[in-house]
């Protein structure tokens, strides 16, 4: 085991830049909350959502943040569960980022409700068969488990328990992402959903999205605090990002191959892959944003070695993975609803209620601001947390993270 | 420094007394008269427990299809909301509306009339 | 108590019932039959002894929308200006077979499934199935998450995107919650037929039958036994309460 002690230090002082950052993030969160208030007062008529596309941009943001949250905890899991000591100094930050992203995502989800004032009803009236109910338990429990995990890691007397609690947190996060994927996987009626692969696919996607967010936060934090961030750690993270992104792309490929094999699903795949019957937006986002920019380019950046040599390029790869993640959520959530329900296979259906045609959706600024508010809240929580408690190692220089390192 | 503290204490005390002062200025509401002589339960019982009675009845009607008249919101409105001289019914936001007369006085939000219409049933 | 007494009483009840049915027939043939024979008392809770259902004959249904208009008038569902957000509790659907060109037209609404996906996914239990098979939204506990709309295979539900005013007294509806066909539960509880069925049979094409699927002597059960009636998306195994002929 490593004998070198890693020293954790809260961010010192109150530099102007830090206050500005917190101010901007706080303001953006406030704008998000006010937008939600406006949506509640005026009704969802001011959003782009309608009776065809019932979940819109807020859900794209919320599900991305929640999926990324579970993935961000991975760094800590690799250290405690899989005993890779090089990740250990990053474990605390990993836990903080995980909680922050989850809180941001849940905020967006809750504020988009038609009746957010009735949130407490979810506690007084519970339908145990609903996946949403499971997710309410999974999300609140996740925060609890990770808080305890952080405590075990940060309180020396409790260090001995950090592995068992870490294992519990790891299992919890796998179940959580299974629950999130199953929101779509269990929807029997829609062509784009109703597939068990959604659960494992969301898990692998969470690895990639969570890590990408984590890398950018790590870079920003070490640059802003002038602390040393060695290549050893960074290169490990770069390699992981490549592997996870490839894994996510593999699941996407298997999902679509299955659809392409079964005639029943050809309509949906023609819609989302070729843009037929009004699926143009989704096909474009799928290929350009999710596959090329969000997967192939970052994978190439990593496996060509470029991302290992240049932090700028690794940062770019991580940003692209996040962009791809938003693209994927857009295609999955909006595209999946836009494809019309198949009520009579083999028939063309028409009605005054948009049966048989692709649902149309143009998001409004209010939805976007709400989503952005959730993201800002997540980042604000991280910024605040590293300021008040010792989450960040004083240094992540190669000599600190790897005692066998020789210059 | 001390004078500043004193000012603050005074300001806080004033702020705490302010609601009392404003309360004194609000007259007890003029509760509109209903139809008939008597309510389905004594007034003090209704005043204290109407919300529980309504919720209980609501669940019975909604889930079990029990449509008796006692404690039904519709029946409350049928008796207590009476047409104005011009034949129209008072708006739920106005103090002439039976429910709102008290609720605005007590500053308690009603979560019924976002969905339920606040006038009596249509004449049959 | 002697069984003799019981059998006497049941015979009397039976006779009374027959008389009532006969009176019903005499007073208002056809339509009122159901009302007189099956109206439950106001203080009686609904039970699983009945299951309400609809049978729609697409051969009779034509290019007419009196059912839609009757439903929306009955329940106070009004045009809100934007067709993409205006709720529709029932709609006319036209299905044209891509190969044969055969066209079927039918009313589409909540199918009142025995195993409704909307009820499964609802986190608060606001989406629920009454003992007599009618699927409803309890808007007192609906939080407006719209997961039921994601889950419904029939696009039967609508979300209220704006403030609603001047609702029908028996059909409360409001912003931020989800609503759909109630099978005119307020009428059914009083022994009447849903508005769509009444309209279809009086001024429409007479294509709809309403009744108790568990009563083998009801007109709907007899029609189903004789002619059959298919479910839309029968593959999902939801055992819908609304059945169609000619699809």
The predicted-structure confidence for C31-74, as pLDDT tens digits, reads as follows 444 444 457 899 999 999 999 999 999 999 998 999 999 999 99
Give pLDDT, residue C80.
Answer: 96
Structure tokens at B1: 């420094």
How many angstroms separate the CA of residue A351 from the nearest CA in chain C? 5
**Is the CB of C233 inside 8 Å of chain A's CB atoms?**
yes
Residues C89-131 have pLDDT tens digits of 999 999 999 999 999 999 999 999 999 999 999 999 999 999 9
| Chain C residues close to A125, C-beta within 8 Å | 124-126, 141
**Is the CB of B58 inside 8 Å of chain C's CB atoms?**
yes
**Is the CB of C136 inside 8 Å of chain B's CB atoms?**
yes
Stretch (H or E) spanning B101: helix B98-106
Query: A366-375, A388-397, B3-12, C173-182 — which is least confidently predicted?
Result: B3-12
Nearest to C228 by CA among C55, C50, C66: C55
Residue with tokens 């593959």: C235
Choose, out of A115, A137, A264, A364, the residue to mutate when testing the contact with C (most C CBs < 10 Å). A115
User: Which of A122, A131, A350 is closest, CB to CB, to C124?
Assistant: A122
Look up residue C113 and give its DSSP letter.
-
Give pLDDT, residue C6.
Answer: 45
Neighbouring C-beta atoms of residue B22, cutoff 10 Å = 9
Give per-10-residue mean pLDDT for chain A (407 aa).
71 89 97 98 97 98 98 95 91 97 98 96 95 96 97 92 95 97 96 96 98 97 93 95 98 97 95 96 98 98 95 97 98 98 96 97 97 98 95 91 67
Choose, out of C88, C122, C144, the residue to mutate when testing the contact with A (most A CBs < 10 Å). C144
**Is the CB of C94 inside 8 Å of chain A's CB atoms?**
yes
For chain A, give every domain's residue range: 16-340+352-394
Q: Does domain A16-340+352-394 have CATH number 1.20.1630.10?
A: yes
Structure tokens at A270: 């023609």
pLDDT mean across residues, chain C: 88
Q: HSE (CB half, 13 Å, CA atoms) of A335? A: 30
Using the beta-carbon criterion (under 8 Å), do A132 and C158 form an inter-chain contact? no
Using the beta-carbon criterion (under 8 Å), do C88 and A188 form an inter-chain contact? no
Using the beta-carbon criterion (under 8 Å), do B119 and C169 form an inter-chain contact? yes
Name the residue of chain C whose CA is nearest to A186's CA: C151
Give pLDDT, residue C35.
Answer: 43
Q: How confident is the model at residue B14 (pLDDT cuts 50, 70, 90)?
A: low
Give the residue-averaged pLDDT of C195-199. Answer: 98
Using the beta-carbon criterion (under 8 Å), do B63 and C169 form an inter-chain contact? no
Strands (E), A152-291: 228-229
Give pLDDT, residue B34.
Answer: 83
- In this prediction, what percent of chain B has a pLDDT beyond 90? 60
Give pLDDT, residue C33.
Answer: 44
Q: What is the DSSP pairing of strand C242-245 with strand C52-57?
A: parallel
Helix, strand, coil proportions of chain A in percent (round to 5)? Answer: 75, 5, 25
CB pairs under 8 A between B and C: 60
Say whether pLDDT at B9 is over 90.
no
Give pLDDT, residue A301.
Answer: 97
Assign A130 to helix, strand or coil. coil
Nearest to A177 by CA among A212, A152, A153, A208: A208
Nearest to A353 by CA among C229, C63, C82: C82
Measure the CA–CA gap between C202 and C219, rounded to whole angstroms: 17
Q: How confident is the model at residue C26 (pLDDT cuts 50, 70, 90)?
A: very low
**Is the CB of B103 inside 8 Å of chain C's CB atoms?**
no
Give pLDDT, residue A254.
Answer: 97
Name the residue of chain C whose CA is nearest to B120's CA: C169
Look up residue C144 and give its DSSP letter.
-
Measure the CA–CA gap between A109 and B15, rounded to whole angstroms: 37
Q: How confident is the model at residue B15 (pLDDT cuts 50, 70, 90)?
A: low
Give the residue-averaged pLDDT of B68-87. Answer: 92
Give pLDDT, residue A354.
Answer: 97
Stretch (H or E) spanning C211: strand C208-212
**Nearby residues of B110 by Cβ (< 8 Å), 6 or more positions away:** B92, B99, B100, B103
Residues C210-237 have pLDDT tens digits of 999 999 999 999 999 999 999 999 999 9
Chains touching chain A, criterion 3+ CB pairs below 8 Å? C
Say whether pLDDT at C8 is over 50.
no
Using the beta-carbon criterion (under 8 Å), do C143 and A346 form an inter-chain contact? no
**Is the CB of B56 inside 8 Å of chain C's CB atoms?**
no
**Is the CB of C45 inside 8 Å of chain B's CB atoms?**
yes
ipTM metric: 0.93
Structure tokens at B70: 């006692």
User: Which of A45, A51, A187 is closest, CB to CB, to C162?
Assistant: A45
Torsion over CA: C175, C179, C183, C188 (sign): negative
Residue with tokens 């029997």: A188
Say whether pLDDT at C17 is over 50.
no
Give the residue-averaged pLDDT of B62-79. Answer: 94
Using the beta-carbon criterion (under 8 Å), do C177 and B115 form an inter-chain contact? yes
- Torsion (CA) C15, C17, C23, C24 in degrees, nearest 10: -160
């Amino acid at each position: 085991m490593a004998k070198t002690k890693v020293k954790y230090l809260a961010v010192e002082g109150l530099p102007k830049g830090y206050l500005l950052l917190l101010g901007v993030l706080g303001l953006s969160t406030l704008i998000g909350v006010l937008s939600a208030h406006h949506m509640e007062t005026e009704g969802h008529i001011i959003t782009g959502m309608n009776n065809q596309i019932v979940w819109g941009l807020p859900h794209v943001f919320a599900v991305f943040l929640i999926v990324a949250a579970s993935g961000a905890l991975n760094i800590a899991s690799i250290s405690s569960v899989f005993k890779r000591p090089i990740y250990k100094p990053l474990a605390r930050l990993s836990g903080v980022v995980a909680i922050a992203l989850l809180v941001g995502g849940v905020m967006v989800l809750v504020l988009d409700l038609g009746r957010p004032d009735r949130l407490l009803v979810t506690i007084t009236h519970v339908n145990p068969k609903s996946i949403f109910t499971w997710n309410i338990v999974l999300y609140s429990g996740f925060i609890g488990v990770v808080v305890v995990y952080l405590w075990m890691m940060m309180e020396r007397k409790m260090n001995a328990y950090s592995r068992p609690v870490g294992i519990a947190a790891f299992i919890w996060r796998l179940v959580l992402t299974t629950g999130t994927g199953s929101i779509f996987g269990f929807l029997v009626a829609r062509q784009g959903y109703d597939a068990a692969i959604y659960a494992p696919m969301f898990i692998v996607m969470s690895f990639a999205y969570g890590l990408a967010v984590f890398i950018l936060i790590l870079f920003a934090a070490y640059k802003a605090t002038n602390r040393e961030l060695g290549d050893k750690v960074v290169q490990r993270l770069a390699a992981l990002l490549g592997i996870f992104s490839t894994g996510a792309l593999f699941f996407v490929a298997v999902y679509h191959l299955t659809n392409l094999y079964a005639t029943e699903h050809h309509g949906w795949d023609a819609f989302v892959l070729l843009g037929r019957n009004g699926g143009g937006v989704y096909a474009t986002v799928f290929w350009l944003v999710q596959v090329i920019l969000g997967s192939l380019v970052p994978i190439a950046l990593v496996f060509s070695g470029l991302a290992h040599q240049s932090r700028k390029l690794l940062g770019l790869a991580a940003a692209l993975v996040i962009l791809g993640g938003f693209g994927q959520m857009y295609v999955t959530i909006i595209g999946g609803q836009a494809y019309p329900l198949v009520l009579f296979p083999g028939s063309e259906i028409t009605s005054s209620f948009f049966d048989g045609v692709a649902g149309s959706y143009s998001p409004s600024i209010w939805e976007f601001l709400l989503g952005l508010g959730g993201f800002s809240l997540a980042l604000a929580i991280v910024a605040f947390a590293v300021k008040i408690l010792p989450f960040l190692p004083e240094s992540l220089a190669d000599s600190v993270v790897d005692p066998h390192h020789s210059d | 420094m001390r004078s500043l503290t004193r000012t603050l204490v005074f300001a806080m005390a004033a702020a705490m007394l302010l609601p009392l002062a404003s309360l004194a200025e609000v007259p007890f509401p003029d509760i509109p008269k209903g139809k008939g002589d008597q309510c389905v339960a004594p007034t003090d019982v209704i005043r204290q427990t109407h919300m529980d009675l309504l919720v209980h009845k609501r669940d019975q009607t909604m889930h079990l299809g029990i449509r008796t008249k006692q404690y039904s919101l519709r029946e409350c409105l049928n008796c207590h909301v009476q047409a104005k001289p011009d034949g129209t019914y008072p708006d739920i936001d106005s103090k002439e509306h039976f429910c709102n007369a008290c609720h605005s006085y007590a500053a308690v939000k009603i979560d019924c009339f976002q969905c339920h219409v606040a006038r009596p049933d249509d004449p049959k | 108590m002697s069984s003799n007494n019981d059998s006497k009483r049941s015979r009397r009840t039976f006779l009374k019932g027959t008389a009532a049915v006969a009176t019903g027939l005499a007073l208002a043939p056809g339509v009122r039959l159901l009302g007189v024979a099956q109206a439950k008392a106001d203080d009686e809770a609904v039970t699983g002894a009945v299951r309400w259902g609809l049978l729609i004959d697409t051969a009779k249904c034509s290019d007419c929308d009196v059912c839609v208009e009757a439903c929306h008038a009955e329940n106070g569902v009004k045009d809100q200006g934007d067709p993409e957000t205006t709720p529709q509790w029932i709609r006319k659907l036209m299905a044209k077979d891509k190969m044969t060109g055969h066209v079927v037209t039918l009313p589409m609404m909540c199918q009142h499934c025995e195993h409704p996906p909307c009820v499964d996914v609802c986190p608060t239990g606001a989406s629920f199935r009454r003992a007599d098979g009618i699927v409803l939204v309890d808007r007192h506990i609906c939080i407006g998450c719209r997961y039921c709309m994601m889950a419904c295979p029939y696009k039967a539900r609508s979300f209220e995107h704006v403030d609603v005013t001047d609702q029908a007294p028996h059909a409360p509806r409001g912003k931020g919650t989800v609503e759909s066909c109630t099978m005119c539960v307020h009428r059914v509880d009083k022994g009447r037929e849903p508005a769509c069925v009444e309209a279809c049979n009086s001024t429409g094409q007479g294509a709809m039958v309403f009744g108790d699927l568990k009563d083998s002597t009801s007109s709907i059960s007899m029609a189903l036994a004789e002619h059959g009636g298919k479910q839309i998306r029968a593959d999902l195994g939801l055992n819908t309460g609304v059945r169609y002929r000619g699809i």
